[in-house]
Amino acid sequence: MFDALRDLVSRPELFSGFDTSALWADPHVARQMLSLHLCDDHAIASRPGAEIDMMAAWIDRELGLGGKRVVDLGCGPGLYARRFRAAGAHVTGIDVSENSVAYASEHGCPGGEFQVGSYLEDELPSADVFTLIYGDICAMPPRARHRLFHKVRAALPEGGAFVLDAFPTAQFETQQEGMEIAMRLGDGFWAPGDYVGLKATFLYPEHSTTLDRYLIVEPSRTRSVFNWLEYMTPSRLSAELEQAGFVSSQALEAVSGALWHDEDKPFALIARKPD
């Protein structure tokens, strides 16, 4: 246990321990995550329904989704996919969570096509529009973003669009380092029975990146989870997209679709594959 605790409080190298599926690997945690996605009282895992309505509406206005093939990467329980389908799109959702994909198929977006898989590792279907929503791009290191951008570009036709949003660097300025320990940390989020949860938060100011590292100690097992988040600027994300062969739009306010002026709010980009 000493080694595990010493490791917890030691600052890891940037993006070490990166694993997009870690939160979904444990069945209990996967159920908890699905509940957070479906709760409309907070924005922990997804936006409230009214904000999802607004974002889906401006994406439809900008791209004209009717009749188009839309692939929603990291679709979760189909919250955005349902809105895209209502706009007349042919929707495919991809997510690592079996629970979320099952919910999306049965309740979230009946009539859509959903598959369990990793959009970072698996082959992507062809589509006219790809979406990656609620800051998923911020949870992966640059090398993973680079690989994903090239995969999406290859799956798009000329003129096809990739819509993604990100958390701005102004939000990084509000973050603080710290340590937390509690019995059943997170009110039972990590396990159904008794456990001790420890959380260490590290800041990487030169990269506008945070790490929440968790150590979950149960009577019969101990596990560690790394939750990375890189806050970004529109110019940084646009440059990465352009390096992958996209032409990027001006930054838009993620929820409303208006031009992005409030640096505290998440922004969105529409990246197009040139004709």
Instruction: Look at strands 129-132 and 161-166 and give their pairing.
Output: parallel
* Residue 4 or residue 121, greater confidence: 121
> Domains of the chain by range and CATH?
2-32+171-230 (no CATH), 40-168+231-272 (3.40.50.150)
- How confident is the model at residue 194, as a pLDDT? 97
- How confident is the model at residue 4, as a pLDDT? 84
- How confident is the model at residue 171, as a pLDDT? 97
Confidence category of residue 23, pLDDT binned at 50, 70, 90: confident
The residues facing 129 across adjacent strands are 70, 161
At 232-255, the pLDDT tens digits run 999 999 999 999 999 999 999 999
Residue 20 above 80 pLDDT? Answer: no
* Residue 45 or residue 24, greater confidence: 45
- How confident is the model at residue 44, as a pLDDT? 87
Average pLDDT for residues 160-182, to the nearest whole number?
97
Cα gap 34→98, rounded to integer Å: 10
C-alpha pair distances (Å), 98 with each of 66, 78, 105, 247, 263: 28, 12, 11, 34, 35
Ranges 23-27, 48-52, 129-133, 178-182: which has the least confidence: 23-27
pTM above 0.75, yes or no: yes
At 127-145, the pLDDT tens digits run 999 999 999 999 999 999 9
Ranges 39-48, 114-123, 135-144: which has the least confidence: 39-48
At 62-82, the pLDDT tens digits run 999 999 999 999 999 999 999
- How confident is the model at residue 3, as a pLDDT? 86
Mean of all residue pLDDT scores within the chain: 95
Cα gap 89→75, rounded to integer Å: 15
Cα gap 121→32, rounded to integer Å: 25
At 174-229, the pLDDT tens digits run 999 999 999 999 999 999 999 999 999 999 999 999 999 999 999 999 999 999 99
